[in-house]
Structure 1
Amino acid sequence: MTKELEDDLGRVIGRAAESAPRAPSHFSAHIARTSRRRRTRTLAVATALAVAVVAGGVTAAVRDLGEDRPQIAVNPPATTAPDPVEKVWPDAVWKIPAKLLAGRKPRPIMFVDDRTLLVETWESFEKAGALYAYDLETRQIRKITDIRTPKGVYASGYTVGAGQVIWTTIEKRSTRFWSAPLEGGQPRAITTDDPIAGSTDQTAVTGDKLAFSLTGGGVFTVPLAGGGVTPVAGADRHHILRWPWVGTPGEHTQGDEPAFEELLNAETGETSRAVVHPGEQLVRCGVTTCAGLRADDSPFYRLRDGSQERGLGQPGISGVALDRFTTALLTGPTRVQTLVDLTTGKSGDLGLRPDAKGQMTAVQLGVTEVPTVVYRLGDQFVVIDLTRIR
């Protein structure tokens, strides 16, 4: 890890703790509260994987729990380094130059459509200056909009839908929503009748409305055109998992409380409660699956109803993305991090390797991180669309 990267990481974690408590900082605190035995093993993994790279998220359609449940067919390979991800899943992986715009640092965020990436550039560290659309086929990039925020205010929480890109800012401990047309134009505020106290953890576009959940719990909608904020019935303690599924507790839990143990379909009213056995730890549930540690500390992966349980080669300590994807670290002469499809058993080498100090970047997936994986590899960005993996 370079000195510049170390400094950047420190600033990222510091600002995350002040505003929206996402995975890296909160997860470390959670680990500190667990038993010494689990902490020793998990921190050994965290030490080897020095930097967490969080994937972007977009709204994805999710089928009802009763339809086409995933089949947990095989355990992931645990010892042999697989082929590179771009060879295993050629239709789902792209490599794009890290220098897309002269003099500006781009950050790919998510897919706008099948061929277009949303890209953010920074005015200064972590402070967005503009949004761009990058065409993966033509390799052309065009500006969507400029982002201007006051000192100490940051744009984050991007999502796309209804022909718009939407983001959030936190000002004076209140959340504000902004949008701009994807074809290009000036940003505008999505005004609300009353201030939204606190910060949001997830957003999703549903029809002509924006759905959002607060970090303290509670799911709401507001018209994209602006107007009244409406609470989702029965979801006063919930967080968005993947719309329309919302659940409680949220991704960040206390002690050994399972994440998203209870689910509610905000559109149909359907509910689901995951099976969790006594003594299980660090359980993280998605729409159809759960992953965690058994009472004997061995990692598992199974359907929410408790069926089709399988062991994992390594603990899915932050959950399983899209109910089927996780990452694993293969140890040996050279550490290799892989992306693993738990449904098919296929895995691909992410190409990340330890530096001269033995440290390496880690791609960390989670139950609410869907479905775009982005990380820097040399002078390129690797972009993986998990929805294209079949």
Structure 2
Amino acid sequence: MSTDLEDDLSRVLGRAAEGAPQAPTGFPGRIAARSRRRRTRTQALVAAVAMVIVAGGLGVTVRGTDGPRPAQTKLPDPVEKVWPDAVWKIPRQLPKVPDFRPLIFIDDRTVLLWTWKSDERTDAIYAYDLGTGRPRKLVDVPSEKWEYASSFAVGAGRIVWQTVDKNEQTRFWSMPVSGGKPAAIDTGGPVEGRGEKLIVVGDRVAFSLAGGGVFTFPLRGGRVTPVAGAERHHILRWPWVGTPSELTQDREPSFRELLNAETGQASNAVVRPGERYVRCGVTTCVGMRPDDTRFYRLRDGSRERDLPGSPVLGLGDDRFLAADPPGPASGQTLLDLATGKQGDLGLRPRVEGRMTGVEPGILDGGLVSYALKDQYVIIDLARIH
């Protein structure tokens, strides 16, 4: 592992870095000016596949509904008290807006909301102002029967997404952030394969396929170009791409191999015999040892630490976990491994023990959201320092 990556790894545990090596500007030629949240995320632009996908939404793994809180154990303070600048609660029902899910941040104060049709195809997208509490319809998303829109991303003043049809052919669309008519991006025909994740990087779009392979094309349209050496890879956090993907078979470690798509730098994570459910980000890995204890460590195998309680195995922004508190407490907390702080997510099991669970994932885009009674809780991981 090279020295510059090791330096960044050290900074993760020391809080000084947000978790990813700085991207050079050589690819794709220039990097557009970024907002505050993109700079603090080391130039990783938000993407629709931010966390775990559930029926087109983000950030939750559903195992049930809310229930009563046991009184015998004290849990940490609520997330909104621990990180007041990073947490919002918005109504689950909004005037003139159908059922929706929060997807991504358009900017520091605006969230993109996603609505769906009866067959779960995307219906429309809205911009929700967190300051005023007002939603604004951006556009009805065009799609044909058996064609599904996903992977919404923001950059260069545009909202970009993909549609995948029943033949697993992928097309790309774009519209102004302020709203307007969507237009297909001309890439010389559909891309063969099911698009998995896309981001906007300067004046280009980068995307990966579910079957592996990373590609780019001009935002205004043009030839699709494969990223050299990334034929098996998936976008993790640009410019880092890796293999295997987050969804692995036979308990393979996810993103064990990393490649910097701009410089060609490579990084292979240390995985020890008998370890299971290993999930690696750009700088760190979590997983389970043969004795069923959990660990958190740097990709080179150093600075290994035990994880408290029985955390759900997912790692947001290289530092955030949803963890079950130790002892008899029933609930779930958001744990910041860089600082040791925890916030109560407010989720409780029902009488039969089932509970909604939140799992920040390694494919993070900064937004965690989940339903809590009649509200959505929205957490901006980029605002947690």
Structures share a fold, TM > 0.5?
yes
- Structure 2 residue aligned with 1:328: 323
Give the TM-score of the pair, scaled to structure 2: 0.79
Q: Percent identity?
A: 57
Matches within 5 A, 1:312-323: 312-314=307-309, 318-323=313-318
Query: CA 1:332–1:279 in structure 2 vs 1: closer, same or farther (change >3 Å)?
Result: closer
Partner of 1:202: 197
In 2: Cα distance, 1:65 partner to 1:230 partner: 30
Rate the CA distance shift 1:256–1:107 in 2: closer, same or farther, 3 A.
closer
Greater share of residues in helix: 1
Q: Give the counterpart letter for 2:267 in structure 1.
A: S
Q: What pairs up with 1:14-163 in 2 under 5 angstroms?
A: 66-67=7-8, 69-71=11-13, 80-102=74-96, 104-124=98-118, 126-163=120-157
1:311 equivalent in structure 2? 306
Contact 2:312 2:321 in 1 (8 A): no
**Partners of 1:108 and 1:310 in 2: CA distance:** 33
What is the aligned partner in structure 1 of residue 22 from structure 2?
Answer: none
Q: 1:229 to 1:318 in 2, by over 3 A?
A: farther
* Structure 1 match to 2:163: 169
**How far apart are 1:317 and its partner, in Å?**
5.4
Q: SS where residue 66 of structure 1 aligns? A: helix
CA drift of 1:242 comes to: 0.4
AA aligned to 1:102 is K
User: How far apart in 2 are the matches of 1:176 and 1:192?
Assistant: 8
Counterparts of 1:223 and 1:337 in 2: how far apart (Å)? 43
Q: Which amino acid aligns with 2:169?
A: S
Q: Distance in 2 between matches of 1:283 and 1:237?
A: 19
**Residue of 370, 376, 382 corresponding to 1:375:** 370
Indicate if the aligned counterparts of 2:312 and 2:323 stay in contact, CA closer than 8 A: no
Matched, 1:340 2:282: no
One-letter code of the match for 1:271?
Answer: A
RMSD: 2.0
Please tell me the residue identity of whatever aligns with 2:323.
A
Distance change >3 Å, CA 265–CA 194, structure 1 → 2: same
Counterpart code for 2:200? V
Q: Give the TM-score taking structure 1 as reference length.
A: 0.78
Bigger shift: residues 231-240 or 119-128: 119-128
Residues 176-255 of structure 1 mapped to structure 2, 5 A cutoff: 176-255=171-250
Q: Any idea what the Cα deviations from partners look like across 1:179-235, whole Å, max 9, x if unmatched?
A: 111111011111212431111222111111110111111100011111111000111
| Structure 1 match to 2:285 | 290
2:12 partner letter:
P
1:127: how far off?
Answer: 2.4
Distance 1:241 1:127, change over 3 A: same
Gaps of 5+ in 2: 16-72
Q: Distance in 2 between matches of 1:208 and 1:388?
A: 26
- SS of 1:275's equivalent? coil
List per-residue Cα deviations over 1:84-131 (Å, max 9, x = no partner): 000000000000111123361121111111111111122335222211
Distance 1:173 1:86 in 2: 41
- Aligned length, in residue pairs: 323
Residue 385 and residue 207 in structure 1: after superposition, are their counterparts in 2 closer, same or farther (change >3 A)?
A: same
- Distance change (3 Å), C-alpha of 1:147 and 1:88: same
